[in-house]
Amino acid sequence: MERKDIPEELKQKFIDLYGCAPDGLFFAPGRVNLIGEHTDYNGGHVFPCALTIGTYAAAKKRDDRKVRFASVNIRSSVTEISLDDGELHLDGSGSLKELGLGANDWTNYPKGVIWAFAEAGELLPSGFDILYFGNIPAGSGLSSSASLEVLTGLVLRELFALNDVKQQDLAVLGQRAENVYVGMNCGIMDQFASAMGREEHAIFLDTNTLEFAYAPLVLSDAKIVITNSKVKHQLASSAYNTRRSECEKALWILQKAAGGAEKIPSLGSLTPHEFEEIRGAIEDPVVKRRAMHAVCENARTIQAVESLKAGDLRTFGELMNASHDSLQYDYEVSCPEIDYLVAEGRRIDGVIGTRITGGGFGGCTVSIVKTDALETFQQVLSSKYMEKYGLAAEFYVVEAGAGAHRLS
Active site residue ranges: 190
Yes or no: say if 199 and 399 are a contact pair by the CB < 8 Å rule: yes
Distance CA 400, CA 182 (A): 28
Q: Is the Cα torsion angle 280, 286, 287, 290 positive or negative in sign?
A: positive
264 binds ligand GLA (CB under 6 A): no
Which one of the spans 11-19, 35-43, 265-273, 394-402 is the region binding ligand GLA (CB under 6 A)?
A: 35-43
> Whole-number minimum distance, CB 37 to ligand GLA, in Å?
4
Does 186 bind ligand GLA (CB under 6 A)? Our answer is yes
From 38-46, 157-165, 221-229, 308-316, give the range in contact with ligand GLA by CB under 6 A. 38-46
The reply on whether position 358 binds ligand GLA by CB under 6 A is yes
30 binds ligand GLA (CB under 6 A): no
Minimum Å gap between C-beta 83 and ligand GLA is 28
Among 38, 157, 176, 293, binds ligand GLA (CB under 6 A): 38
Q: At its nearest, how many Å lie between ligand GLA and the CB of residue 40?
A: 5
**Minimum CB–partner distance for residue 216 and ligand GLA (Å):** 22
Distance CA 365, CA 351 (A): 13
Of 21-29, 31-39, 82-90, 377-385, the segment contacting ligand GLA by CB under 6 A is: 31-39
**Binding flag, residue 339, ligand GLA (CB under 6 A):** no
Interface with ligand GLA, residue 330, by CB under 6 A: no
Packing angle, helices 167-176 and 108-119, rounded to 10:
110
* Binding status of residue 364 toward ligand GLA by CB under 6 A: no
Q: Is 37 in the site for ligand GLA (CB under 6 A)?
A: yes
255 and 267 Cβ atoms separated by less than 8 Å: no
Compute, in degrees rounded to 10, the torsion defined by CA atoms 89, 93, 95, 96: -60
CB 8 within 8 A of CB 380: no
The region of 34-42, 259-267, 288-296, 339-347 touching ligand GLA under the rule CB under 6 A is: 34-42
Minimum distance, C-beta of residue 249 to ligand GLA, in the bound complex (Å): 17
For 231-270, letters b (16+ CB in 10 Å) and e give bebeebbebbeebbebbebbbebbbeebeeeeebebbbbb
DSSP alpha helix (H) spans, 214-268 = 236-258
Residue of the chain from 58, 142, 189, 222 that contacts ligand GLA (CB under 6 A):
189
Instruction: Give how far Cα 338 sits from Cα of 219, 301, 333, Å.
Output: 24, 21, 10
The mark string for 103-142 relative to ligand GLA (x by CB under 6 A, - otherwise) is ----------------------------------------
Q: CA–CA separation, 147 vs 132, rounded Å?
A: 11
Q: Checking phi first, is residue 68 left (phi over 0); if not, alpha (psi -120 to 50) or beta?
A: beta
Interface with ligand GLA (CB under 6 A), residue from 7, 43, 187, 403: 187
- Sorted by sequence, the CB contacts under 8 Å of residue 377 that are 6+ apart come out as 225, 345, 348, 350, 351, 367, 369, 395
| 363 binds ligand GLA, rule: CB under 6 A | no
197 is a site residue for ligand GLA (CB under 6 A): no
Given CA atoms 318, 299, 46, 201 in this order, what sign does their dihedral have?
Answer: negative
Please tell me the count of residues contacting ligand GLA according to CB under 6 A. Answer: 11
Q: Pick from 22, 28, 40, 381: which binds ligand GLA (CB under 6 A)?
A: 40
Axis crossing angle, helix 189-196 with helix 144-159, rounded to the nearest 10: 50
| Contact residues: ligand GLA, CB under 6 A | 33, 37-38, 40-41, 186-187, 189-190, 358-359
